[in-house]
Amino acid sequence: MIENPELLTGIVLHGAHGIYEVHTDSGIIRCTLRGKLKKAFARAQAATRSKGRPRASVNVYQLLREEREQSKRSKSEESGPTSPTRISVGDYVKLRRLDEQNGLIEEILPRQSELSRKDAGSTAEKIVPQTLLANLDQVVIVLAVAQPEPHFGFLDRYLAICEATRLQALICLNKADLPHASAIEEAAEQYRKLGYTLIFTSAHTGEGIEELRAHLKEHTTLFTGPSGVGKSSLVNALEPGMDIRTSEVSEATGKGRHTTTGSRLYPLSGGGWLADSAGIRALAAWNIPAEELAWCFVEFRPYLGECLYNDCTHINEEGCAILQAVEDGVVAESRHKSYVRMYMGEER
């Protein structure tokens, strides 16, 4: 043990096989979990899985639900914040140094936010969450204008998830130097009209790089999207010193190959943090209650509470204000189709 046994506070940059890289004011320290903490995590994780699904996070969607949400917030304040049941990239921790390079994690501090998806090991009976990044405040959703072609249904799902978790979402259409259909420009304008920031970028020509860099400053951001859209090349263009491995799109499938194997957090030279996540080929809005999904489509919000029936699902009911808005051309039919697919469980 070194002479100074005081606890340090740090942020988890990466973790694998029980070893965590933690950034502190004294540098990066290679840490393991203290034995008692490791056992507590194992018990908490087992308890979570035995219930079939994780405890839903508190989210505020509609003014009509404000009374119930206020009650939840009051109970949360009485009991105090809880620590996560599984350590993830982006978590803040308390650690004790063993020597100049190694330490023990003594405590995981409560999260302010997180973005999760269903783990590949989830079943119909047991949903296991996989946290992509903890304590983030912004998500950059990266699609390519071509090679592979953009899937706007995927984008709609991700935007809904960001709205549900109250995370700022920024849309990045990468590989802008490649020839692409005019329909992509039209779709881009549609999302801009919804209030989302959308940037066309190219790691090859440098288009949009400075604008994107300005949006990352002083934020903790997750870069995410399907494989092959150029996330790693884009990150390398933003921060050349990171030198993240890249690969080409498969000619056989037209889909990207995974080059990032898990989230890793990097400090940005201009201030802030950036995580480049593994490519995501499927994404389900597994933790958004069906009755709150409509709120997660921003253009639906003015019509909520205006339908003929209070329990309207906005799918095929008579007197639905949202369906009328679609018919009037105020709400895009493609966005409504994304909502219906999510509501019916095809992409939930």
In a domain? residue 4: yes
DSSP string of 137-177, one letter each residue: -EEEEEEESSSSPP-HHHHHHHHHHHHHTT-EEEEEEE-TT
Read off the CATH number of the domain in which 220 is found.
3.40.50.300
Q: Is 83 annotated as a binding residue?
A: no
Q: Is 172 annotated as a binding residue?
A: no
Structural domains in the chain (count): 3
Q: Is 175 annotated as a binding residue?
A: yes
Pairing between β-strand 92-97 and β-strand 114-118 as defined by DSSP bridges: unpaired
Q: Is 314 annotated as a binding residue?
A: yes
CB 216 within 8 A of CB 273: no
Per-residue model confidence (pLDDT) at position 75? 46
Q: Is 174 annotated as a binding residue?
A: yes
| Pair 207, 267 in one domain | yes
pLDDT tens-digit series, residues 72-129: 455 444 444 555 668 999 999 999 999 889 999 999 999 999 998 766 565 666 666 7
| Pair 334, 280 in one domain | no
| Pair 191, 155 in one domain | yes
Residue 138: pLDDT band by 50, 70, 90 thresholds? Answer: very high
Using the predicted structure, report yes or no on whether residue 57 has a pLDDT greater than 50: no
Q: Which spans in the chain are helix H?
A: 35-50, 66-79, 152-164, 182-193, 209-216, 231-238, 321-327, 333-343
Q: Is 228 annotated as a binding residue?
A: yes
Check residue 227 and give left, alpha or beta (phi > 0: left; psi -120 to 50: alpha): beta
Q: What is the mean pLDDT of residues 149-166?
A: 93
CB 212 within 8 A of CB 238: yes
Per-residue model confidence (pLDDT) at position 252? 42
| Pair 226, 299 in one domain | no
Read off the CATH number of the domain in which 8 is found.
2.40.50.140
In a domain? residue 304: yes
Q: Is 320 annotated as a binding residue?
A: yes
| Pair 274, 153 in one domain | yes
Of all residues in the chain, the percent with pLDDT exceeding 70 is: 72
Per-residue model confidence (pLDDT) at position 311? 93
Residue 147: pLDDT band by 50, 70, 90 thresholds? Answer: very high
Q: Is 256 annotated as a binding residue?
A: no
| Pair 157, 20 in one domain | no
| Pair 297, 166 in one domain | no
In a domain? residue 64: no
Q: Is 307 annotated as a binding residue?
A: yes
| Pair 209, 315 in one domain | no
Q: Is 229 annotated as a binding residue?
A: yes
**Residue numbers of the domain that contains 324:** 290-344
Q: What is the mean pLDDT of residues 16-29?
A: 94
Mean pLDDT for the chain overall: 82
Q: How far apart are CA 114 and CA 332, in angstroms?
A: 30
Residue 119 token pair: 């783990």
Q: Is 177 annotated as a binding residue?
A: yes
| Pair 164, 269 in one domain | yes
| Pair 173, 223 in one domain | yes
Look up tokens 């304040």; give the residue. Answer: 77
Check residue 330 and give left, alpha or beta (phi > 0: left; psi -120 to 50: alpha): alpha
Residue 257: pLDDT band by 50, 70, 90 thresholds? Answer: very low
Read off the CATH number of the domain in which 329 is found.
1.10.40.50
